[in-house]
Amino acid sequence: MITSGEHQHRSCYVNFAGHLLNSFSPNMLHPQLPNSWLHADWMSFIDMIKDFGFNVYEFWLVPRLFCRSGLDSDFGKRFTSQMQDIIDYAADQGMATKMFCSLATVGADWRTYCPNVTDEWDECLFLWDQWTKRLHRLGMIGIFPGDPGACSRNGCTPETFIDKAVEVSDIIKKNQPDAQIELNTWGNPFFGWGCIEGPDGWQGEFVQDYQHTAWTFSRPRADRAMTHLLKRLKHFPEYTAVAINLAFNPDADPKHGDGEQSAQSWAREIAKTNPILTWDFSLTEGENAIIPHYRFERLFSQRKREREAAPYQGGMCYTMTPMLNQLSLYQAAQSFIDPDADHREVTRRFYSKYFGYKERELLDILPLFEIVPDWGNGVKIDIAKSEYRRLMLRGSEIVREIKRDNANDNEAPFHPAPKTYLNDLMFFFDLFACLSDEQPDFAYCRQTYWNKVYEIYNDLPTHVDPRPTLATNNLIRVFDDSSNDSAKSPMPGRWI
């Protein structure tokens, strides 16, 4: 628990939500489908992130679980039992587990209940009560406003989110007195509370076409919401942490919009009474551009900006690909511990420690994967396609050499086995080499990528969020000269 300025909270958030499923993430929601993790997998994952430098493992209690069928169904019961085993194992290793949940978004269809409708709000309180009774030994429990979710029906506003979070935190504290509360401000003041729109007759259903309305920024609204938050902070349990980024915009950039979206003064004000944490979501991955990421220049410069701006006590790093982007997780944990570190040196340390590879050549090639425009990635990679292809082929060759030279002698905890990681890295080098060929077979590349990454969706009904298909198309377009520039813009679903 963060009770003093000495303690730094370094959380690894694995997002296994239904719209972000993929082969590099645990499938916790569909027991009949592939990619489930056994308890041994989770143990080895927890050991690895602890070794990386994290002290918290974090998960989202997704809406599909936050409902009656989540409580009563076989899959809900299975989830509860598996998650309790994970929490217990982590606690035994000295790692806290944080569960967070949207205030009022309920069920697989992501409907948001209205706190101003008595029956709907009673149901939310019932679900909060049940879930915080079911899982034990949680170190932290977070309440966040939405995405998906948020209500603007019946007079709901960002202030409603805060007031109702106070009510929920009382329930949490009653059921789990040892757990710390985290209030997450996610999205410019409190996501779409008070501003999300819906079609005629809307009853809080998730409607993709209206999602963008939740992101509309207004400084007066932000000031009102934050003033209310400050006023009500004393009504939350002692030591309630507040997750607030440097700015109320997608990339947490306080300079964006002539500085009017800066959250720094609010963060400093909150820090006078409560711990503040960063939850900068796009620093590591963004959403759905599933590739081996390399965004570390920005990661470390943001950590330094945070240090200058306000007394942050750590924060969260996110992944939806814990079995592909271990390097990002390692860098993220290390960026909290030493914001002044040189990310190239951290990469070198990672490959040396976990794979016995001590050369520097790979360090120049890995950043080239970050060629897909995406939330959190504004880097332009400007080299000739033939040179790009040459470097991808060279990357593949290096990985093959690492595999040959360092088979089975790694004792540091790593999940999955280093060999699996190296095979996957090689897959991406080979795929990107194919894509940057003079005359690529895009249909083949597209199918190969889909089979490797998103095959699980072949056996599921179409999800309310179409991101996997869009992300796959987006990757192909980056390499397809016949597609126009507008098609190469970041995909829908990111913050806009």
Residues near Zn ion, by CB under 5 A: 114, 116, 151, 153-154, 156
* Residue 381 in tokens: 């990679």
Cβ proximity to Zn ion, 153 vs 463, nearer residue: 153
**What does the alpha-carbon distance between residue 193 and residue 149 come to, in Å, rounded to a whole number?**
8
The answer to whether the CB of 375 falls within 8 A of the CB of 495 is yes
Cβ proximity to Zn ion, 116 vs 130, nearer residue: 116
**What does the alpha-carbon distance between residue 280 and residue 318 come to, in Å, rounded to a whole number?**
8
**What does the alpha-carbon distance between residue 87 and residue 209 come to, in Å, rounded to a whole number?**
37
Quote the least distance from Cβ 151 to Zn ion, whole Å: 3
Specify burial of residue 335 (Cβ count, 10 A radius: 0-12, 13-18, 19+).
Answer: buried
Specify burial of residue 410 (Cβ count, 10 A radius: 0-12, 13-18, 19+).
Answer: middle
Cβ proximity to Zn ion, 3 vs 154, nearer residue: 154
Cβ proximity to Zn ion, 121 vs 239, nearer residue: 121
Quote the least distance from Cβ 118 to Zn ion, whole Å: 12
Cβ proximity to Zn ion, 24 vs 193, nearer residue: 193
* Residue 392 in tokens: 């991808």
Beta-bridge partner residues of 59: 99
Cβ proximity to Zn ion, 50 vs 221, nearer residue: 221
Quote the least distance from Cβ 387 to Zn ion, whole Å: 55
Quote the least distance from Cβ 125 to Zn ion, whole Å: 15
**What does the alpha-carbon distance between residue 415 and residue 57 come to, in Å, rounded to a whole number?**
15
> Which letter does DSSP use for residue 91 in this model?
H
User: Phi and psi (nearest 5°) for 445?
Assistant: -60, -40
What sign for the dihedral angle of Cα 290, 293, 298, 303? positive
Q: Write the CB contacts of 302 (distance below 8 Å, at least 6 apart in sequence).
A: 246, 252, 280, 283
Quote the least distance from Cβ 150 to Zn ion, whole Å: 9
Quote the least distance from Cβ 193 to Zn ion, whole Å: 8
Cβ proximity to Zn ion, 156 vs 183, nearer residue: 156
Q: Write the CB contacts of 92 (distance below 8 Å, at least 6 apart in sequence).
A: none
Quote the least distance from Cβ 359 to Zn ion, whole Å: 58
Cβ proximity to Zn ion, 194 vs 395, nearer residue: 194
* Residue 138 in tokens: 């949680």
* Residue 49 in tokens: 């992130």
Quote the least distance from Cβ 113 to Zn ion, whole Å: 8
